[in-house]
Amino acid sequence: MNTNTIHSTPTTHRPEPFSARRSARRSARLPALLAARLAFTIAHAPASTKGGIGLLLVLIASSSVQVSAAFSRTLFDHLDPFGVSGLRFAIAATLMLSVVRPRLRGRSRADWTMILLYGTSIAAMNICMYRALVHLPLGVAITLEFLGPFAVAILASRRPRQAAYAVLGLIGVVVIARPSADLDLLGLLFGGLAAVSLAGYVVVAERIGRSGGGASELALAIGLAAILASPFAIAAVPSLRWSDAPILGASALLGVILAFTADFLAVRIVGARTVAILLSLDPVLAAIIGAVALGEHLDALTVAGMVCVAIAGGLSAFATGRTEPATATPQREARRRSSATMSASTANSNTASARSRPFGFARSDSPSASSASSASIGYTRSGAPRSSAPPAESRSIAPITR
C-alpha cells in the first residue's frame, strides 16, 4: 500500500529589515519632531510678532480649557469631579509619554527639580481649585485663583504701566466673578493654594523654557501630575461607563495636552509676566461660552469686566511685541565673550606693533585699528555690543524668552 506523505516545510520568521525598523521609529517620533520644529519656529519669530503669537496661544489654551470643562461637566452626575480630573491626567499622560518618549537618563538634579515642581504645580492647581469650589462660590474661587498670576505680573513688572495692566486685569476678573461676603475658611485656604500653584506653574514653565526644555519636560510633568492625582482616578474607576471614554479622551486632549502645550509655548515666547496677565482671559471665555452654549445672560457689569480684561491683555501683548528686554541667553553670552576676546586680541596686537616701531605709534589707518574702533562702537538693538569683524558673531539672535 502506497502512502503519500506530505512534508511541510517549516516557516521561518524573517527579521524585519533595518530600513523598516528605522522608518517605524521615525514615524513614532514624527509628532514630537513636528512639535519641536513648531516651537523653534515660533520662538525665533520677529520681536514685533511675538506679542500676537503669545496672545493667540493663550487664547487657544483658554478656549481648550473651557471646552474641556464643558465636556467634563456632563460626567458629574455619576463621577466625582476629582475623579474626572484624575482620569483626564491619566489619559493625557499616557498619550504624551507614548508619543514624546522623553529620556530619563542624563538629566541633572536641577532639571529633575524643575520637572518635579512643574508637575506638582499642575496637579495642585487642579486639585486645590476643585476643593475650593466645594466650599466657595464660583466667583470667589476664580478671583482667589487668579490672585497668583496677577501677583507674578506685578512683581515681574519693570515699569509702572506694566503693573497697571495687571491691576486692570484683576479689576476685570473681580467685576466678572463678583465675590460675595459668604466665605468659608477652608475654602479660602484651598483658593489661596490654587493661586500659589497657578503662579508657580507660570514661573516654573518660564524657567524650563529658558533652560532649553520642551515637550519632554512637559510630558514628564504631566506624568507626575497623573501620579499625584491617581488616587482620585482609581476611586472613580468603578463608576465608569463605556460612554464616558470619548468624553474623557476629548477632555484630556483639549484641557490637558493642548492647553498645557499652548501655555508652555506662550510662556517661552513672551515670558511669565505677560502670560500671567493674559490668563485673565479664562473667566472672559467662560462667560462667553456660558452665554452662547448655555444661554446665560451677560449683564452690564460682566461686559465691563470683560472689556477691562481684554484691554489689559491687548496692551500687555502689544507692549511685549514692541519692547524686547535684554536677557542673558547663551547666544548673547557667547557673542559677548567672543567680542571681548576679539577686542583684547586686537589691543594686544596693536600694542605689540607699537612697541616694534621706533617712536611707539601705531598706524591709525591700519585695518586692525579701524576694525577695533568699529567693533567697540556698534550696539545691537538689545543693547549688547556688536562686533563688525565676523558676520556670524554680529548677527542678532532673538532670545527664546523674555
Average pLDDT across the chain, whole number: 72
Cα–Cα distance for residue pair 277/280, rounded to 1 Å: 6
Q: Distance between CA atoms of 57 and 67, rounded to whole angstroms?
A: 15
pLDDT of residue 316: 73
- What pLDDT digit, counting tens, does each position of 201-214 carry? 999 988 888 887 78
Q: How many helices (H) and strands (E) does the chain have?
A: 18, 0
Residue in the block written with cell 468659608: 184
Residue 136 DSSP SS3: coil
Q: Is 286 exposed, middle or buried (CB count within 10 Å of its CB: 0-12, 13-18, 19+)?
A: buried
pLDDT at 281: 78
pLDDT value, residue 116: 95
* Residue 385 DSSP class: B
Comparing 12-21, 28-37, 313-322, 361-370, the range with the smallest average pLDDT is: 361-370
Contact by Cβ (8 Å): 266, 275 = yes
For 89-139, what is each residue's pLDDT tens digit?
Answer: 999 999 999 998 898 888 889 899 999 999 999 999 988 888 887 887 776
> How many CB atoms within 10 Å of residue 299?
8
Q: Is the pLDDT of residue 221 over 90?
A: yes
CB 327 within 8 A of CB 292: no
Residues 6+ apart with CB under 8 A from 30: none
pTM of the model: 0.65
Three-state secondary-structure class, residue 265? helix
Closest CA to 131 of 147, 115, 118, 144: 144
Confidence label for 158 from pLDDT (cuts 50, 70 and 90) = confident
Contact yes or no for 204/192 (Cβ under 8 A): no
Contacts of 36 (CB under 8 A, 6+ apart): 214, 215
Residue 258 has pLDDT above 60, yes or no: yes
Of 174 and 379, the structure prediction assigns the larger pLDDT to 174
Three cell numbers, residue 331? 547666544
- Segment 7-33 mean pLDDT: 52
Flag whether pLDDT at 183 surpasses 90: no
- Please compute Rg for the chain using Cα positions: 28
